Amino acid sequence: MDIDSIKKEFPIFDNKVQNNDLVYLDSANSSQKPRVVIDRIYDFYSKEFSNVGRSVHYLAVAATNLYENTRTSVQRYINAKDKNEIVFTKGATEAINLVANTFGQKYLEEGDEVLLTELEHHSNYVPWHFLRNSKKIKIEFAEINEAGEITIEAIKNKITNKTKIISVTHLSNVTGAILPIKEIVELAHSKNIPVLVDGCQGAPHLKLDMQELDCDFYAISGHKMYGPTGIGVLYAKKKWLDDLPPYQGGGGMINEVKKTGISYGELPNKYEAGTMATAQVIAFNESIKFMEKVGIENIEKHEKELLDYGLDILGKNNSIKIVGNPKNKGGVISFTIEGVHPHDIATILDEDGVAIRAGHHCCQILHEKLKLPATARASFGIYNTKDDIDQLSQSIENCKKIFNI
């Protein structure tokens, strides 16, 4: 695979950042955008803009078709049975809030349990926390092992006859652990428990097949998949979308509105109230096509090579401690340097154009468990090269020099 030519499709790398070439190692936070995605937003607003699903004029019909084309592309990309199982949201956060809110409303009672894991980022904890107050539910956390993984046993240990839904990440944004989703779903379904998968990190890096995973819900973040911000996807089995109540009310999601009552629209409109992020949805189609063109197998292979190389280089450095050692790991390396706080690392690396993230990565539960107030994190995307990791390693040396380590 020719990474150099793929990288050239991302205009951000044409520019210097503070006089340095950009070494972007923060894709788990948000990925950079290829030109096709950026151009699509510009073109749509310049030549094709109209609101969708309402008016009958030419532009409205054309825009509606473009909008629906993305739904078909997402359906194809994740192998969903029905295109109406794809609901557009403003992000994965809203997708999870949608499920927590509507499922909680209909199915959760006082004393019921929602099972999460210690790896969850705040988007897959806070929406459930709301139900602690409104419904007096309990939240349980499956525990990580020493490697920073969640095993099927860890899930099994926390399932009780009160467990009503399991909501787990596909891939940890801190330890990189890839969870055994298929096994978790099989186990849960054998006890009639539905499963939501937080695919924020899964969707950009792993091959997705909803028929194989068989999960009930899958939340996707568009901006982590080389797509625009403000767009996400909730995949849900049709039986759930038919069964659960609507989430937000407004235009577009209704069938008939009278003073005495309201009936709601059919799928997928039922969950898409108000004017949606039209341009972003349409441009997101280009992200999907971009990923299909590169090939998810190639993306996985490339990121695995980077991961192995990165673990090897950083692993040789005695001052560096890598957080977690999962057997099945995605392209994320979280680390600490003895004697240098992660925020100081990030500032010093930034001076060389190396963009990493430092902090708790929206995973305070996990950092508390690891007894680390913060970590530094390098995460990979399709545009990264071994040179980027060499630069990371070199900048870490500079960091140690400044701190006399």
Partner 1 sequence: MDLKELYQEIILDHGKNPRNLRKTENFNKDAKGHNPLCGDNVHIYLKLNENKKVEDISFEGHGCAISMASASIMTDLVKGKEEAEVKEIVNDFLDMIKEKEELQNKILNEDEKTKLMCLSGVKQYPMRVKCATLSWHTLTSAIDDFQKIVNTES
Cis peptide before 204 (omega within 30 of 0): no
- CA-closest candidate to residue 11, choices 22, 20, 25: 22
Residue 348 found at the interface with partner 1 (CB under 8 A): yes
Residue 243 found at the interface with partner 1 (CB under 8 A): no
* Nearest-10 Cα torsion for 176, 182, 186, 191: 30
Residue 224 found at the interface with partner 1 (CB under 8 A): no
Q: To 5 degrees, how large is the angle CA 174–CA 387–CA 331?
A: 20
Active site residue 362: yes
Active-site residue (options: 215, 362, 363, 399): 362
Q: Which stretch binds partner 1 (CB under 8 A): 126-134, 280-288, 317-325, 356-364?
A: 356-364
Using CB under 8 A, which of 5, 161, 263, 404 touches partner 1?
404
Q: Given the complex with partner 1, which of 65 and 347 has the nearer CB atom?
A: 347
Q: Which stretch binds partner 1 (CB under 8 A): 70-78, 104-112, 209-217, 339-347?
A: 339-347
Residue 353 found at the interface with partner 1 (CB under 8 A): no
> Phi and psi for 131 in degrees, rounded to 5?
-75, -15
**Contacting partner 1 within 370-399 (CB under 8 A):** 373-374
Query: Residues 288-327 vs partner 1: string with x where CB under 8 A?
Result: ----------------------------------------
For residue 387, the minimal CB distance to partner 1 (Å) is 22
Give how many residues touch partner 1 by CB under 8 A.
20
**Contacting partner 1 within 3-42 (CB under 8 A):** 18
d(CA 117, CA 177): 12
Residue 347 found at the interface with partner 1 (CB under 8 A): yes
Residue 343 found at the interface with partner 1 (CB under 8 A): yes
The residues that touch partner 1, with contacts defined as CB under 8 A, are 18, 339-344, 347-348, 351, 358-360, 364, 367, 373-374, 402-404
Active site residues per annotation: 362
